[in-house]
Amino acid sequence: MGKRNFSKRVSYRTSDAMSKFVLAQDPETISFAGGLPDNNLFPVEELKHAYEEVLRTEGNLAFQYTSTCGDIKLRELVGKNLFKRWNKTIPADNIVLTEGSQQALDLLGKLFLDDGDIALIEEPGYLGTIQAWSMYSDNLIGIPQDEYGIDTDYLEEKLKELKDLIKVLYVVPDFSNPAGTCLEIKRRLKLVELSEKYNFYIVEDLAYSLLSYDHETYPPLVTLSDSNKIITIGSFSKILSPGLRTGFIIAPKDITQIIVRLKEGTDLCSGTLNQKLIYHFYKLGYLEKHVEKLRVAYRTKRDSLKKALDEKFKDIAKWNFPQGGFFFFLVFPEWVDAYKLAETALEQKTSFVPGEEFFVSKRGKNTARISFSQVSPEKMAEGIKRLHIAWELYKEKEEVFL
Ligand SMILES: Cc1ncc(COP(=O)(O)O)c(C=O)c1O
């Protein structure tokens, strides 16, 4: 056998969906594909002001390496402020700042998984987690979601079957990507109970938790229990800017110490300047106001997408009504191949992500993630009209007459 210079992991699961549908940059395309924040909503003036504050108060140190676990002031701020609504304070020692929460996911894959180890992921589940964890083990198992989030009865059966083999479970409790679901409180409590009983870790991802449009979310798992089996990750990408690449991991102190070791091998430290910028942006009182503004803007977009879908797709697909986040998740009849529909949609200058990308079990061929975050309310109806034309053309190609 010839010499293999590259590691085995380079041949693990890949997907062309991101480059093909999300990054399609034709300016005439109305894109429902990306889970990106709206460019027009970045608070540029406030960021400028916060930048000046960084330079005025921190001077040269803003350009220096920081500790691997991240800027102490921002860690304290995350610990004191992000969970105060739930009367919970988290010590800075339990927090590691990361290069976006994607790095947090990679580090957690590195922490938990050797090749062949089992990780459970809510299904449909976040593609970035599937991609990150697939690099460490090809043994990811999907646990289905229904309209109330991950199905804890199904999970319990799986746990009974696989017992000690399960190391970690990943969930997005608030407004999941791609399903848009919000995990009901009963199931949150059940998850915590199961993780204690069956001795596995839970990674809860709060990427969208502050972007709720109708009512406050339920408490995050980390506020429901003092269990040392809960690891929480979060991000400033959706509530401020993904370009600042700042996220965080909250974990028991013995685990953050290991994570810091793993992280040292990756980057020594994440971007000091951006961490300080976020800290000053918050201190100046901008973050809370900005999140309020985002809630109003994204709520309007969500409502106009719902209206457009109701008009054109009511008798064709079923979907959830997300109470926050960025996504509608459409389920078409069984015979539909949403990947082919997405290719036809691209020709009609609109795009979405085929849902099968979010299923480790390879199910979900007839599903689609439709994101409203980047489309203006005025263009929503036009985009869905194009999608409907694509649907008619796709049906003709498949010779299905309903
Ligand atoms: C559920 C979820 N987690 C994590 C991320 C990663 O975000 P970032 O690395 O920008 O923090 C995303 C981005 O879309 C996401 O949807």
What CATH number is attached to the domain comprising 91?
A: 3.40.640.10
203 HSE (CA, 13 A, CB side) = 30
242 Cβ inside 6 Å of ligand 1: yes
Instruction: Tell whether 48 is covered by a domain.
Output: no
Name the residue of 98, 181, 235 whose CB sits within 8 Å of the most ligand 1 atoms, as the mutation to test its pocket: 235
Range of lowest pLDDT (18-27, 91-100, 119-128, 215-224): 18-27
pLDDT tens digits for 350-360? 999 999 999 99
172 Cβ inside 6 Å of ligand 1: yes
Same domain, 195 and 83: yes
100 Cβ inside 6 Å of ligand 1: yes
Instruction: Tell whether 2 is covered by a domain.
Output: no
Same domain, 223 and 83: yes
Same domain, 228 and 322: no
Of the two residues 216 and 380, the one the predictor is more confident about is 380
pLDDT tens digits for 36-45? 999 999 999 9
137 Cβ inside 6 Å of ligand 1: no
Structural domain including 345 reads 8-43+288-398
pTM of the model: 0.96
Vertex 267: Cα angle to 262 and 269 (nearest 5):
95
35 Cβ inside 6 Å of ligand 1: yes
Name the residue of 102, 129, 270 whose CB sits within 8 Å of the most ligand 1 atoms, as the mutation to test its pocket: 102
Same domain, 274 and 358: no
**Is a pLDDT exceeding 90 seen at residue 20?**
no
Same domain, 23 and 134: no
Name the residue of 36, 106, 108, 126 whose CB sits within 8 Å of the most ligand 1 atoms, as the mutation to test its pocket: 126
Which atom of ligand 1 is least distant from the CA of 102? 9
Per the prediction, the chain carries an average pLDDT of 94
- The structural domain count of the chain equals 2
Answer with the one of 286, 319, 341 that is the final residue of a domain. Answer: 286
Say if residues 351 and 375 touch (Cβ distance below 8 Å).
Answer: no
Rounded Cα–Cα distance for residues 360 and 364 (Å): 10
219 Cβ inside 6 Å of ligand 1: no
**Mean pLDDT (whole number) for 294-301:** 98
Query: pLDDT band at residue 13, thresholds of 50, 70 and 90?
Result: low
Say if residues 182 and 213 touch (Cβ distance below 8 Å).
Answer: no
**Mean pLDDT (whole number) for 254-273:** 96
Task: Check residue 163 and give its pLDDT.
Answer: 83
Same domain, 79 and 137: yes
